[in-house]
Structure 1
């Protein structure tokens, strides 16, 4: 279609208050922040709610630049933009479900920009549902589409079930006897109260049914004596030792012997070995160990495998995998964790405890297959090829029992709903809602009650399987007491779900719609949509295979209630839009084509559905590259320009969209936890897109290059002024570059072929490097020398002759550089002084000549290396005056060099300084205003 009457430019296409969005989004991703909608069920790489609502708001409201008749001057436009920013800042508040007035204010503002009627919001890759949930709470008609039945169920809970019963009193007899009036049951508090009540019924019935499998433990006299409730058991997998000295005896595979490494309560397992009898056992020890190293490493032998407890001989991973494939891995209980008044205590294993754990297999357990291969899966290599094999016998008995009890609780909820005055139809619907949310609690139990859960010695609790988007192999694992009021217990899991239900809906939340659709095959029937979506990230996460872990229990509990949603044995795999070679017999090209073709179809369909007034917004996250480990589950981050980025941009541009803005949103909790010192990339890049005119012109690639050189410098300066982190800078720069590329119908090389996306990305990156290099011309001679030296040597030594030759080219001298305090010249060698070597008592007011290099690294010394904080660093920045701003420009340039030379620690420092700059600069300005006007600055000016 030809786009005429160009729509008004939206706020998202001009400016965003990124620091506040980043802070709120990082907080939203942190664990332990209390009840949150995400807590009703686990989903992988869930978009932070603050990000979703900020992007939706900024996609609807006009940028003041679009209304010169109202705000004719740049100053007036900036003032109006700040007013809109203030609304977004209030939307970034914590526990916003308790502040309906903030949502009301945002809705009222959006209505003024959309002719009094908000568009419908559609997310065709809804996943965990952050975008549709926030759209619903902001007053849009929200549609969530996904093919994955687990995702569809979660969106039904958020958009249909919880809002359907908002502001309803509970039906259970306990709460009905003490029901109050007024706001007692506002929002979804009534539904949450019922979940708590019926979960207690499930617990009581489970105790009667399987309680004998969960005995108490007898404590030693020094532990207080008597019996105590068990909260967990700790196990180790075993394998027949390949050592001739052990003659095939099964020995434990343990990554650590620590039970508690918390200061003041150190407790560990001490192996007692009888080599003659080829026997071992473990005893619990506490106090101060004589050898912490051996306790920390357990029987682990580095990254190559384990060692035999009996002989000390190596047990390589290849051997362990081979034995696992033959079904020869065993398991031994090594410790019992009990709860006492003052916390945790640890007890050595008895035969009674072992006997209870080896329960007979239940009838009719889910006998479903794991995929032969899948993204993030490693357990198949060790012989775990069925879902039930990820559970101990006792865990499997408990999961089947509780799942069936949840399914049966609908009769109780139905009867109570009738007694509360519901008609039969409503009572049916409400009972189904109760069962659905309780089934989510079953899945939370599954996450904490499987044989791939770690025991954390630092906080002394069971850790859930899905700490990230993978199913790794764990050799020493913990088993929670599912009937205890503890982490992983049914009571705790269901109570957490109930608490989180209270955060889903406000009093004014309306009903949305969750649809099971294939985004590549079409969208919902609605038109004039505002589309915002967080699609799959190429080959990053295998949602379908991971979801099977939860799907098997949801299907057992809810198959009768949602027969269409749970009609297949497992989650559909082949249609999923990920580039997963295992779905195409290992063929990577076929997987790539499936991903690209699906994206093109999806975005082509969306192009004809969207309301042209509003930009399409698409989130993209960088690939998390797993390191090659076994039971260690570490992740690094890699830029994936030639695959994921290229594919996404190709799909958008080839389906008729042009990119109008890109924003890096830093929503990683690591960003805050490491004091903004991480070199991890931004969690998301948000792209704003508009339909491209069908008659868009074509140009030559030489013109594209010229336009890049003309436009990119100002765009990059704008990004720097917005304090884009250096680690995100190259990715953010793709935005203005691809905006130029995507506005043309075709860009032709001299050969007549079309300039590819990959080639365009390379040209944009080259131009970025040139622009950053040109900034050097504005620096002083000493700084230009230091940059060139750093690019070649970093902070390492180089020859004096090389340094002298370079100094002549940069119009300075080695002696002058040494006098300036930025180099050390000794014994025919020269090197730059590291920030931590610079004098701590340096005062710029006593320095006659200060290179930008020197001021930058003194700021870095304070902020990053000495970590003195924002206020102390701001004192120095104030003394540096207006010249201090050049330090940030230099930090961008040096980060780029450090990244290229793989100087990770140096890059981390420059990145940290830029990230901390806004607060440091704000404090410096405030100090400067408060300083008497007659007080001179570093250059003697008043």
Structure 2
């Protein structure tokens, strides 16, 4: 029994070019790829932009299967689907903000599928804003909603503030003089120029105001004896617990290594000097240390990796529990470990002395700093119950104010004050540039908003939890991941300098990122602070795409307090609607956090599940029926600079958050029509190919379920799976889904059947759960893949069965011969075919690298799918011959080649089950490379083909 859906099936419900989406998404998360909209402000676990735009496009464009009148045959549908894939592939290009024509092509294609008018897009859990931003760039009217005021502000920047001033010339006097008032400014370059200019004014005023607290470093190695400081590196100290030390403070350092760049290393050494009050001082050493010496320097004062500390004066252990108790009592101190400065040929590392530390002390402003700690920064830090990545509260750092040194607070207060004060200058310059008073006020507020974001970026790099990177020789920001871990030796950036963490560097970077927000004819959208579970007003039907909270992974509300307090001080009066509270609202946040319900995990779970159901039920009534809802589920949230694949297991059915999401969607009246695994990790190719690892995201496509949906039995459910799953899997393979992702993608068509019905009842009359349905789908997937073997030759069927038993290891001849009878072949025939080696009563499959390099399929009298697959594997994966040479062999295989890919899918599944990771890696790699190899194989040659030695002789 089937239930028909009247809306046309969309591309996302049939097939996607996932490898290209994965590659582009992984690149998008990499640091150092140039200006990017994400750079205007930090946000945790931001969805990659390529993923968002691919999913939006595929949600609007019809799949060719929906138009048999245009493409009646399967081959024609495949060809049209491949054309749509090519558009998506172009959308996955790098630095797409420089290619508005690609966005225009995508928009034109989408308009063909929605009566010439794109629907409005709504993301009710907008977060960092990837989905609304890409919707705006593609030409949709984008609506972003979120409870978190920081997220709302970021979405306003992307959807409202920047696009409203796209194409406008800057108002600052330098730029106006340079352009003579006549040159057109593309996109948001004019706005960026003003952010950069007025940030420069703030920089000069800050130098005048607090410059004396940022002195240069004294050095005999530079002309004039003074060098520009890049950073000051500090270490925390604690009173030695050994009475013999007489209460002297000693360092508790995680590492003494300062630089590992080049041939020489730089490290500090705490030298004992009884003439000094504390009895020790730091010396800076450089050169090529011994292996043991470098290992010792890397330990700092730790007794061993992850262990307690050692007192440098008495060599007695200092337990972490003691350090924690001293920290909670407020008795930890800091000592300057090193000054990093610009030298004639790179970084200089200068040992400090007592005079150096005295020059850094704040002699005034004490009242302002104390007041900031007592009010502005008095909010509590999150506990271990609220964030999973570590927190420093165990060491007495219990409020936001504890994270900053006096000088860092002074610098951030100064920047905040100057951002407010510069408004009158921006407004006056805007009026002189020709803006009316009302527009001048609006523009001044926009520029100040981006300056406030730059100050927030400074805060991320200017706190006492910033590490110094010896490899990159720079200050690292606090939020490398969604945690606030303790740092014992921290780096303080030169706020008034020109290196990482400085106001100038941070504001210039924000300005660079402002330039790339708007692309082509991006539409102005809107961002509001709202509860996704509340009924949404408005008569328009919407396309919904959202990346919702993920059970209990991250408490954005708690973490974003770090930024919220500074934003509220700088521009809170500009946005009174979202900065009305002292801290970010916590209780309404949709997260299963037991600590918000007096430790009651059950109440927290119910809060999360009920909120999900209410949210999706509210969205269901507002959805445009032509388009599916798309929902992202992240198995492991990760930040851009610390992205790694999720843990090495594939237990989708045992993941509480995943099961909760499916249950919430289905119970809210949705039918799940597709699931797509997206690997957005920087390491997805290295880790996930051949590894049994979860995807970064699962994207679900959903349709409202018919109110008249019937109920069926579990037996009928399995029958329908048997009937429809094989065709769905063929579509997935056409989209070249990596074998490592195949099981996750196959859940889509399986769950489409499960969620199509009101209820599915087992033989006992009980409702079949989501978990049971997933288990059934996985079993059916194995059966379908196994049935593909019936289309292979007898030798290949024997080889598969032998591989399932033995892999590439030896087995008894008798067992091999017995199996050959069942498969209607013989061991001698298999040896003649070049599949096995039979010797001394033992038989084993030939490994790819053992196959002859001069093999030519056109001269093979007993050609098998097994041979074809493993010769392709030998060339492409093991010998690294590349796409061009491998395509030469694929061309010779002709129409038989697709069977080789089918076998690679089958053998990956076997390798995965047998935990043969290297074998799985190879089969997965071959499938991933297939589209380009096949494309080259189809091309007519305009140059002589490679010689046989080129094709088969590479090692």
TM-score clears 0.5: yes
1:478 aligned partner = 491
* CA 107–824 in structure 1, closer or farther in 2 if over 3 Å, else same: closer
* CA 74–769 in structure 1, closer or farther in 2 if over 3 Å, else same: closer
* CA 784–420 in structure 1, closer or farther in 2 if over 3 Å, else same: same
2:347 aligned partner = 344
1:658 aligned partner = 671
| CA offset digits 1:163-220 (Å, max 9, x no partner) | 2222222222222333345553232222111111111111111112221121111224
Residues 137 and 520, structure 2, Cα contact 8 Å, conserved in 1 = no
* CA 568–301 in structure 1, closer or farther in 2 if over 3 Å, else same: same
| DSSP-derived class of the 2:281 partner | strand
1:629 aligned partner = none
After superposition, residues 260-275 of structure 1 pair within 5 angstroms as 260-273=259-272
| CA offset digits 1:886-942 (Å, max 9, x no partner) | 454344334334444555455444433332232334345559897789999999xxx
CA–CA separation in structure 1 for the residues paired with 2:53 and 2:760: 36
Residues 671 and 677, structure 1, Cα contact 8 Å, conserved in 2 = no
CA–CA separation in structure 2 for the residues paired with 1:929 and 1:148: 58
| DSSP-derived class of the 1:143 partner | strand
CA–CA separation in structure 2 for the residues paired with 1:46 and 1:418: 38
CA–CA separation in structure 1 for the residues paired with 2:410 and 2:101: 48
Measured after TM superposition, the shift of residue 116 of structure 1 is 2.9
| CA offset digits 1:556-614 (Å, max 9, x no partner) | 11121112211112111221112223322333322222221111101101111011122
1:616 aligned partner = 629
CA–CA separation in structure 2 for the residues paired with 1:848 and 1:790: 23
* CA 423–20 in structure 1, closer or farther in 2 if over 3 Å, else same: same
CA–CA separation in structure 1 for the residues paired with 2:757 and 2:321: 54
Bigger mean CA deviation after superposition, 19-28 or 730-739: 19-28
Alignment counterpart, residue 506 of structure 2, candidates 473, 493, 499: 493
Measured after TM superposition, the shift of residue 316 of structure 1 is 5.2
Tell me if 1:551 matches 2:567. no
2:135 aligned partner = 135
CA–CA separation in structure 2 for the residues paired with 1:590 and 1:901: 41
Alignment counterpart, residue 371 of structure 2, candidates 356, 364, 370: 364
Alignment counterpart, residue 709 of structure 2, candidates 668, 671, 696: 696
After superposition, residues 553-632 of structure 1 pair within 5 angstroms as 553-624=566-637
* CA 379–899 in structure 1, closer or farther in 2 if over 3 Å, else same: farther
Tell me if 1:728 matches 2:741. yes
After superposition, residues 762-801 of structure 1 pair within 5 angstroms as 762-776=775-789
CA–CA separation in structure 1 for the residues paired with 2:706 and 2:856: 56
* CA 683–169 in structure 1, closer or farther in 2 if over 3 Å, else same: same
CA–CA separation in structure 2 for the residues paired with 1:218 and 1:769: 70
2:23 aligned partner = 23
| CA offset digits 1:794-828 (Å, max 9, x no partner) | 66788899888877877788898889887889999
* CA 764–351 in structure 1, closer or farther in 2 if over 3 Å, else same: same
Bigger mean CA deviation after superposition, 553-562 or 64-73: 64-73
| CA offset digits 1:41-85 (Å, max 9, x no partner) | 111222222222222222223333333334444444444444444
* CA 238–866 in structure 1, closer or farther in 2 if over 3 Å, else same: farther
CA–CA separation in structure 2 for the residues paired with 1:69 and 1:174: 61
Residues 166 and 187, structure 2, Cα contact 8 Å, conserved in 1 = yes
Bigger mean CA deviation after superposition, 438-447 or 39-48: 39-48
CA–CA separation in structure 2 for the residues paired with 1:303 and 1:625: 25
| DSSP-derived class of the 2:282 partner | strand
CA–CA separation in structure 1 for the residues paired with 2:484 and 2:556: 12
CA–CA separation in structure 2 for the residues paired with 1:248 and 1:828: 77
* CA 342–936 in structure 1, closer or farther in 2 if over 3 Å, else same: closer
2:751 aligned partner = 738
* CA 247–593 in structure 1, closer or farther in 2 if over 3 Å, else same: farther
CA–CA separation in structure 2 for the residues paired with 1:838 and 1:309: 59
| DSSP-derived class of the 1:259 partner | strand
Alignment counterpart, residue 641 of structure 1, candidates 630, 653, 662: 653
After superposition, residues 818-897 of structure 1 pair within 5 angstroms as 838=850, 841=853, 843=855, 856=869, 859-860=872-873, 863-864=876-877, 867-874=880-887, 885-897=898-910
2:234 aligned partner = 235
Bigger mean CA deviation after superposition, 239-248 or 664-673: 239-248
After superposition, residues 140-151 of structure 1 pair within 5 angstroms as 140-151=140-151
Query: Aligned residues, how many?
Result: 930
| DSSP-derived class of the 2:603 partner | helix
2:217 aligned partner = 217
Residues 624 and 635, structure 1, Cα contact 8 Å, conserved in 2 = no
* CA 28–821 in structure 1, closer or farther in 2 if over 3 Å, else same: same
Residues 670 and 678, structure 1, Cα contact 8 Å, conserved in 2 = no
1:514 aligned partner = 527
| DSSP-derived class of the 1:729 partner | helix
Alignment counterpart, residue 436 of structure 2, candidates 412, 417, 423: 423
* CA 568–801 in structure 1, closer or farther in 2 if over 3 Å, else same: farther
Measured after TM superposition, the shift of residue 520 of structure 1 is 1.7
Residues 380 and 398, structure 2, Cα contact 8 Å, conserved in 1 = yes
* CA 890–256 in structure 1, closer or farther in 2 if over 3 Å, else same: farther
Tell me if 1:226 matches 2:237. no
Normalising to structure 1: TM-score of the pair?
Answer: 0.89
Alignment counterpart, residue 407 of structure 2, candidates 389, 394, 408: 394
| DSSP-derived class of the 1:609 partner | coil
CA–CA separation in structure 2 for the residues paired with 1:4 and 1:826: 59
Normalising to structure 2: TM-score of the pair?
Answer: 0.88
Measured after TM superposition, the shift of residue 653 of structure 1 is 1.1
Bigger mean CA deviation after superposition, 867-876 or 438-447: 867-876
| DSSP-derived class of the 1:364 partner | helix
Alignment counterpart, residue 386 of structure 2, candidates 354, 371, 374: 374
1:196 aligned partner = 196
| CA offset digits 1:127-151 (Å, max 9, x no partner) | 1111212222222221111100000
| DSSP-derived class of the 1:42 partner | coil
Measured after TM superposition, the shift of residue 483 of structure 1 is 0.7
Residues 172 and 417, structure 1, Cα contact 8 Å, conserved in 2 = yes
Residues 19 and 928, structure 2, Cα contact 8 Å, conserved in 1 = no
Measured after TM superposition, the shift of residue 323 of structure 1 is 4.2
1:294 aligned partner = 296
* CA 107–864 in structure 1, closer or farther in 2 if over 3 Å, else same: closer
1:451 aligned partner = 464
Measured after TM superposition, the shift of residue 10 of structure 1 is 2.4
Measured after TM superposition, the shift of residue 27 of structure 1 is 2.6
| DSSP-derived class of the 1:682 partner | coil
CA–CA separation in structure 2 for the residues paired with 1:562 and 1:545: 20
Measured after TM superposition, the shift of residue 294 of structure 1 is 2.8
2:538 aligned partner = 525
After superposition, residues 330-341 of structure 1 pair within 5 angstroms as 330-341=333-344
1:36 aligned partner = 36
| CA offset digits 1:683-715 (Å, max 9, x no partner) | 322222111110011110111011112222222
Bigger mean CA deviation after superposition, 923-932 or 616-625: 923-932
Residues 228 and 338, structure 1, Cα contact 8 Å, conserved in 2 = yes
| CA offset digits 1:436-461 (Å, max 9, x no partner) | 11110011111111222222222211
Q: CA RMSD in A?
A: 3.8
Measured after TM superposition, the shift of residue 641 of structure 1 is 3.3
* CA 775–386 in structure 1, closer or farther in 2 if over 3 Å, else same: same
CA–CA separation in structure 2 for the residues paired with 1:515 and 1:698: 40
CA–CA separation in structure 2 for the residues paired with 1:548 and 1:578: 16
| DSSP-derived class of the 2:371 partner | coil
